[in-house]
Amino acid sequence: MINISKPLIGGEEIDEVEKVLSSGKIAQGPVVAEFEKDFAEFCGVKYAIAVNSGTAALHCALYACGIKKGDEVVTTPFTFVATANAILMQGARPVFVDVNEIDFNIDADKIEEKLTGDTKAILPVDLYGQIYNVDGIGEIAHRKNLRIVEDACQSHGAEYKGKRAGIFGSAGCFSFYATKNMTTGEGGMVVTDDENIADSVKRFRHHGQSEKTHYEYYDLGFNYRMTDIEAAMGIEQLKKLKGFNEIRQKNARALSEGLAGIKGIKVPSVKDGFSHVFHQYTIRVTDQFKIKRDELSQYLTGRGIGNAVFYPKPLHLHPHFMRLGYKDGDFPISEKISKEVLSLPVNPSVSEQDIKYIVDTIKGI
Ligand SMILES: *Cc1c(COP(=O)(O)O)cnc(C)c1O
């Protein structure tokens, strides 16, 4: 089976985790601090605060940006559920805006019509590993005095004009879940240049307690701490991230060259000025193709080619969000592409021969 995702853990991770295990200090400690320092440096920001998931990172960032009950946060319906759930966790309302057909990210041109007096922030997602429309959304946020919280859970190391994902708003949020471009099993990170946001995230991950004054609780907080065990993995994975991403990009180029020109298959586009890190390599299977998307998916599975649909249903069509008043037809592009997208194996364990086999199998149809 050619896997759609596969964590690549080497002797380096195992050795460093073993050191932590034998040290007797396994909860949040010096190794988390070292990982934070490395990650901040990698992103080119002043502060990185480790937490125990990407979801926790989003929750912390929204809290630290002052998002609270009654506020509205603009986001995309074509994303993983955690993006919008984090908004609900703060008692705020997710206001969905449809995506564009180029990178499947939130469409800057459709945001302004959705803004109200209660809108406090925009939460764009770097879907599949390509950064959102930084200039378009940045301009709106600046003019309307809105925060931007970037969901960079799929875009570790992606770039726009030479700057890395996560740094384009007030705060950026990463996940180190097992399937992501780098992993700690479960884990997350908030990055920011704003000292107040950094302090606020630190308090929120630890029951509202400041690191400066122990056992003084300033506000509600959670237990969102990362362990030194996870951080030890993270430090080694971060060293390998650039190499991992380069293989993803090479695999993506080979897939796109191989699949170009097949009627009914649209390969992903990389925007000018952006470097895409292909967390997912996602094609669109349109009506023009010989068989339906779901038939292609089964056909590939039957031939040992892992594949997956991210995401089969936009968020606004799940009962959880329909209860907020959303309905079928609200976001036609998200609804259309959710029926067409199919992600193919692109991760660093996928070889040149694997790519050739995937291309030949699809061409064969
Ligand atoms: C993975 C992911 C998350 C959540 O990360 P977890 O670590 O699983 O909590 C949030 N948003 C997006 C876009 C993701 O892909």
Phi then psi dihedrals of residue 279, to 5 deg: -55, -40
Pairing of strands 147-151, 119-123: parallel
**pLDDT given at position 245:** 98
* Nearest CA residue ID for atom 2, ligand 1: 153
Domain 242-364 has CATH 3.90.1150.10: yes
Confidence grade of residue 215 (pLDDT, cut at 50, 70, 90): confident
Q: Are 330 and 316 a contacting pair, CB within 8 Å?
A: yes
| Cis? peptide before 311, omega within 30° of 0 | yes
Q: Are 203 and 180 a contacting pair, CB within 8 Å?
A: no
**pLDDT given at position 135:** 98
Stated pTM of the model: 0.98
Q: Does residue 175's CB lie within 6 angstroms of at least one atom of ligand 1?
A: yes
pLDDT digits (tens, 9 = 90+) for 33-53: 999 999 999 999 999 999 999
Q: Does residue 184's CB lie within 6 angstroms of at least one atom of ligand 1?
A: no
Confidence grade of residue 211 (pLDDT, cut at 50, 70, 90): confident
Q: Does residue 153's CB lie within 6 angstroms of at least one atom of ligand 1?
A: yes
Q: What is the CATH number of domain 11-237?
A: 3.40.640.10
DSSP 288: T
CA quadruple 25, 27, 28, 33: dihedral sign: positive
Q: Mean pLDDT across the chain, nearest whole number?
A: 97
Residue 189 reports pLDDT greater than 90: yes
Q: How many Cα neighbours within 13 Å face the side chain of 325? A: 4
Listed residue (200, 176, 177) closest to 39, CA to CA: 176
Listed residue (165, 163, 108) closest to 141, CA to CA: 108
For the chain, the structural domain boundaries read 11-237, 242-364
Residue 210 reports pLDDT greater than 90: no
* Alpha carbon distance 128, 244 (integer Å): 15
pLDDT digits (tens, 9 = 90+) for 300-333: 999 999 999 999 999 999 999 999 999 999 999 9
* Alpha carbon distance 321, 310 (integer Å): 18
Q: From the CA of 57, how far away is ligand 1's center (Å)?
A: 9
- The enclosing H or E element of 149 equals strand 147-151
Phi then psi dihedrals of residue 287, to 5 deg: -55, -25
Q: Are 26 and 172 a contacting pair, CB within 8 Å?
A: no
Q: From the CA of 25, how far away is ligand 1's center (Å)?
A: 28
DSSP 206: B
Listed residue (149, 83, 86) closest to 121, CA to CA: 149
DSSP 265: E
Q: From the CA of 22, how far away is ligand 1's center (Å)?
A: 31
Q: Does residue 154's CB lie within 6 angstroms of at least one atom of ligand 1?
A: yes
Asked if domains 11-237 and 242-364 share a fold, the reply is no
| Cis? peptide before 63, omega within 30° of 0 | no
Q: Does residue 300's CB lie within 6 angstroms of at least one atom of ligand 1?
A: no
Q: Does residue 151's CB lie within 6 angstroms of at least one atom of ligand 1?
A: yes
Which of 85, 153, 183 to mutate to test ligand 1, by most ligand atoms within 8 A of the CB atom? 153
